[in-house]
Amino acid sequence: MKDTLNKAAKILTIIPAFNEEHTIAQVISGIKVHAPYCDILVIDDGSSDATALRARATGAKIIHLPFNMGYGIALQTGYKYALEKGYHYMVQLDGDGQHDPRYIEGLLSAVKSGETDVAIGSRFSKNNENHVYRAGWMKRTGILLFSAITSLIIKQKVSDPTSGYQAITRKVAQFYASEAYPCDYPDADVIIMLNRAGFRIKEIPVVMHQNKNKKSMHSGMKPLYYVFKMFLSIFLTLLRKRELFNQGSGRVCP
């Protein structure tokens, strides 16, 4: 299967990274082992540590943002680069080691087969190799809440709406590169946007590892801001006409 993926398409893995000096090299090494047919791009989101230095030492391509601009902007930068360079498929995964590169091939296979436009890695799928991801009660409550809301709105079960482990087609990358894409927390709201724009979404069981080296972006008072912002984003998304999403998905066509 790896030979088929390698010959059939140009594929880019996109890694947004902010102060990930302890894990970035390991993440890149895992990609090279499990998905050697993928090119690797690290978006250094204004890190103050040796993230960029250690990523560059692996031979990965690096894009530096001048200061910490946020997860969504870092991802969007990667997608704009992928479109400019002619990539057919993209995989996004975090630089903190939570996303296991062993599952890149499964995510890519789902989009390359034409089965879906977006393959989302779910740590909570019932078919998840008996693996249990133990999230804190606040994070788990938020995931369950937005899982229920997202599933209700798009009329499809979504078990892990906050997963940043995805494989997408070029057309979805064009949508992500448009003004419709949120600049801070692209999670459940993006899934709803994709559905309203007519894209197909499928969850793929993956294993994720707890990040023990740093605080989550949903730590401290951030969960309250996150919940408020996500509700607001979902509300505004539902107010927009479907035609606007369809227009937005074509703004970056080469």
**Domain residues of the chain, as ranges?**
2-248
Report the alpha-carbon distance of residue 246 to residue 40 in Å, rounded. Answer: 29
Question: What is the predicted pLDDT for the residue at 224?
Answer: 78
Question: What is the predicted pLDDT for the residue at 221?
Answer: 53
Q: Which two tokens stand for residue 176?
A: 């992500």
Bridge partners, residue 61, by sequence = 41
CATH topology (fold) of 2-248: Spore Coat Polysaccharide Biosynthesis Protein SpsA; Chain A (3.90.550)
CB 234 within 8 A of CB 195: no
Question: What is the predicted pLDDT for the residue at 234?
Answer: 85
Angle at 187 between CA 181 and CA 189, to 5 degrees: 65
Question: What is the predicted pLDDT for the residue at 253?
Answer: 32
Longest Cα pair distance anywhere in the chain, in angstroms?
Answer: 47
Q: Which residues contact 63 (CB under 8 A, 6 or more apart)?
A: 41, 42, 43, 44, 77, 78, 81
Q: What is the pTM of this model?
A: 0.84
Question: What is the predicted pLDDT for the residue at 247?
Answer: 47
Question: What is the predicted pLDDT for the residue at 249?
Answer: 43
Question: Per-10-residue mean pLDDT for the chain, 254 residues long?
Answer: 60 98 98 97 97 97 95 95 98 96 97 97 71 62 87 94 95 92 82 94 92 54 75 81 52 33
Q: In terms of Cα–Cα distance, which of 12, 165, 6, 161 is closest to 80?
A: 12
In degrees rounded to 5, what are phi and psi of residue 99? -95, 115
> Please, which contacts does 146-154 make with residues 24 or more away whose CB atoms are closer than 8 Å?
146/187, 146/188, 146/230, 147/188, 149/188, 149/234, 150/188, 150/191, 150/192, 153/192, 153/195, 153/234, 153/238, 154/191, 154/192, 154/195, 154/201
